[in-house]
Structure 1
Amino acid sequence: MTARRKLLGDLMGRLTKVAVPEPDPNSVVLGELKALRERVPQLTGALVASSDGLLIAHDLPENIEPNGMAALSASQLALSYRLATTAHGGGFHEVVVRGTEGHVVVYAAGWTSLTVLAGPDANVGRLHLESRPVARTIADHLAAASNDSRKEQVTNTDG
């Protein structure tokens, strides 16, 4: 817990008499990101962001600010989706950005995006082979968690 978040939690606890707990990271999604990073040579980081740019989980190097990268990933997802539907009328799967210092690949993952960062010598074919199933797994996991949450809300309001 960062000192700032602890201070905020302590202050909120004193003002409301209720402690603000540290948000629990989505351990399944984070586990998928870390496993992907271990499997793919030259992969330097990965994150999952919601379509509105909120960070869900990340395994990024310290020099990259996760919330800013999540917002950029959501913007790239929206722009790429719009480009694909305008050009071909179909859905969007992924976009590869190749820069001088490496690759950024954004995969559609249900209502989220999986963004992976890789070095300039990365094998993009291998990156796709490993990342596409991870994007599907993450989308399925988050959809199931969302459905469970909705069911719980309905049960709580019915009772």
Structure 2
Amino acid sequence: MTNVAVHERMDDVARPASDPALLAELTALRGRVARLTGSVIASSDGLLIAHDLPDGIEPSGMAALTAAELALSHRMASTAHGGGFHEVVLRGTNGYVVIYSAGWSASLTVLSAPDVNVGRLHLESRPAARAIADLLAAAPDRPRRTAEPSRKGGRSTAPRRP
């Protein structure tokens, strides 16, 4: 059993919002990848935007953890290669957690069973992350960034679109 929901930040309270396009992306992703157990769309500051998670996983907590991992991953990518972040794969005893950049200010996190076809997971999740980035960029209440930050005077740690 899963809980599919979209949230938006209003007066410091996470409340359900109706964004059927985001929910459709998450639901379709689950349908296309066997052994996918859940997914979360989170802002880069850890706020929950939408989720399709199984019972027992707290959506806001997962969004906050995603933001913490993103901060480390951005820094690691920048330090190691001087470039932006695209994705990070965590393989645990009981499954995978993969975080994909979804534009400038959000991410898509997918959870799967340990025996998932990782190639298929990437093949389906990467375009879903791009579609989510486009949906979020088109939303009227979301800030938009039109160009990549200047690299003069140092390397940018801002994420690049996947």
Confirm or deny a common fold (TM above 0.5).
yes
| 1:9-48 alpha-carbon deviations (Å, 9 max, x no partner) | xxxxxxxxxxxxx632422111100110011000000010
Q: Displaced runs of 4+ in structure 1, greater than 2 A?
A: 148-151
Paired-residue identity, %: 69
| 1:82-102 alpha-carbon deviations (Å, 9 max, x no partner) | 100011000110000000100
Q: Distance in 2 between matches of 1:85 and 1:61?
A: 33
The structure with the greater share of residues assigned to strand is 2
Q: Is the 8 A contact 1:46 1:58 kept in 2?
A: yes
Q: Secondary structure at the match of 1:31?
A: helix
Query: What's the RMSD between the two structures over aligned residues?
Result: 1.7
Q: Which residues of 2 match residues 13-92 of structure 1 at below 5 A?
A: 23-92=16-85
Q: Distance in 2 between matches of 1:109 and 1:49?
A: 9
Q: Report the equivalent of 1:109.
A: 102
Q: Secondary structure at the match of 1:115?
A: strand
Q: Report the equivalent of 1:140.
A: 134
Q: Distance in 1 between matches of 2:41 and 2:67?
A: 10
Q: Report the equivalent of 1:149.
A: 141
Higher Rg: 1
Cα 1:150–1:41 change in 2 (3 A) is closer
Please tell me the residue identity of whatever aligns with 1:121: D
Q: Is the 8 A contact 1:26 1:56 kept in 2?
A: no
| 1:88-144 alpha-carbon deviations (Å, 9 max, x no partner) | 000110000000100000001111010000000001110000000000000011011
Q: Is the 8 A contact 1:99 1:120 kept in 2?
A: yes
Q: Distance in 2 between matches of 1:27 and 1:73?
A: 23
Gaps of 5+ in 2: 1-14, 144-162
Higher relative contact order (CA closer than 8 Å, sequence separation 6+): 2
Gaps of 5+ in 1: 1-21, 152-159
Q: Distance in 2 between matches of 1:94 and 1:150?
A: 22
Q: Are residues 1:120 and 2:114 paired?
A: yes
Q: Distance in 1 between matches of 2:128 and 2:137?
A: 14
The structure with the greater share of residues assigned to helix is 1
Please tell me the residue identity of whatever aligns with 2:141: S
Q: Secondary structure at the match of 2:42?
A: strand
